[in-house]
Amino acid sequence: MKLKQRVVLLAILLVIFIFTKVFLIDNLDTSAANREDQRAFHRMMTGLRVELAPKLDHTLQSPWEIAAQWVVPREVYPEETPELGAIMHAMATKKIIKADVGYKGTQLKALLILEGGQKVVFKPKRYSRDHVVEGEPYAGYDRHNAEVAAFHLDRILGFRRAPLVVGRFVNLRTEIKPVATEQLLSTFLTVGNNTCFYGKCYYCRETEPACADGDIMEGSVTLWLPDVWPLQKHRHPWGRTYREGKLARWEYDESYCDAVKKTSPYDSGPRLLDIIDTAVFDYLIGNADRHHYESFQDDEGASMLILLDNAKSFGNPSLDERSILAPLYQCCIIRVSTWNRLNYLKNGVLKSALKSAMAHDPISPVLSDPHLDAVDQRLLSVLATVKQCTDQFGMDTVLVEDRMPLSHL
């Protein structure tokens, strides 16, 4: 063989060797990442059922101190949460030392302060579990049980971006009225034999109070995030106009995502992928009302998108509002970790996991079977949407590796 031919052959062999090595390393990295996703999924499933128990044997800290220390820029609570049952037990049982009207907003709520100084937001029961909210996807009152279910779905998906929520029964006559501010107390009334209140909010009306069963009111309590983490409100790039006949740009511009990608904070960092995760989350719960969202202040796009106010969900199990998924099917990107988790949850696993996670909540059963079935059905639509994207653009383009190290120090 001539020298020139040998050189060419060696060059070809070298290219093949380098390509093979790089390919194998990439596959090993991907396999390692997938294995870690699978281990994380099994850890989540193992610790899914949270039994509400009062004891914190291994620490002198209060439940409120532990929960406050959990919060970091990219998650509200860590993956391993052995204290979660004790914190949720405290939220469901601790003495209420003050009650006031809720922070400003459109829906009825009350701001409670529990023994130890912890703020929680109380949302009262408005509907029975079997009630179907007709009309627009964002119609009707807030659903207290939706807040509970959404929190546990956040756990199951591995996002860990929703504040802690638990169901609670309160006696309005003995627990709330004696510690209520004058502003809240002035909204109490009696309807038949039931104690009711209508609070202060944009849509709060004396003619539309929330009523207890006698004096006992079912509701949800959401743990207030620590004051050292002030929130910043953002207009959702895929939000609705809420004006009749007026479309938002994303509703008619097929290249809208390209414009979003050039706009801060979506032009760098994890925020756009958080938007995609949130679209999946909202579609699964049937929430078409996230026209704004919150992050931590001064985050320069690095903070998580916090999954607050999830009560406009689980209203109609027949709802299939595909527009909620617009960020996903217009951008055609999704985190690898999210994609893996969604695949682990198909074939009825999601319904089973959600039912198991909520089994020990004080207001269990939290969701009716039609709503649980609907979540499973919507998951199939999410997977199909990603499949359409990968068919069109390829797996390497659609599935984005975005694993950020998290610190709890």
Cα dihedral angle (356, 339, 154, 272), rounded to 10 degrees? -170
- The b/e string for 124-145 (b: 16+ C-beta within 10 A; e otherwise) is bbbbebeeebeeebbebbbbbb
Q: Annotated binding residue at 392?
A: no
Q: Annotated binding residue at 222?
A: yes
Query: Is 402 assigned a catalytic role?
Result: no
Q: Annotated binding residue at 94?
A: no
- SS3 track for 85-113: HHHHHHHHHCCEEEEEECCCCCCCCEEEE
3-class secondary-structure state, position 391: helix
Q: CA quadruple 59, 64, 67, 73: dihedral positive or negative?
A: negative
Please name the helix (run of DSSP H) or strand (run of DSSP E) that holds residue 35, with its range, or none. Answer: helix 3-46
| Phi, psi (deg, nearest 5) at residue 189 | -155, 170
The DSSP call for residue 177 is G
Structure tokens at 257: 């995502």
Structure tokens at 367: 């969701």
* CA 331 – CA 314 distance, rounded (Å): 26
Structure tokens at 388: 């359409």
* CA 274 – CA 304 distance, rounded (Å): 7
Q: Does residue 105 come out as left (phi exceeding 0), alpha (psi in the -120 to 50 range) or beta?
A: left
| Phi, psi (deg, nearest 5) at residue 93 | -130, -20
Q: Annotated binding residue at 21?
A: no
Amino acid (1-letter code) at residue 332: C
State in Å, rounded, how far the first CA of the chain is from the last one.
Answer: 64
CA distances from 20 to 23, 27, 144, 160, 396 (A): 5, 10, 55, 38, 18
Q: Annotated binding residue at 223?
A: yes
The DSSP call for residue 213 is B
* CA 96 – CA 91 distance, rounded (Å): 10
Q: Which of 289, 361, 391, 396 is catalytic?
A: 289
Q: Does residue 137 come out as left (phi exceeding 0), alpha (psi in the -120 to 50 range) or beta?
A: alpha
Q: Annotated binding residue at 294?
A: yes
Structure tokens at 239: 């939000």
Binding residues for ATP, as ranges, are: 107, 123, 222-225, 294, 309
Binding residues, as ranges, are: 107, 123, 142, 222-225, 294, 309
Binding residues for Mn(2+), as ranges, are: 142, 309
| Residues noted as catalytic | 289
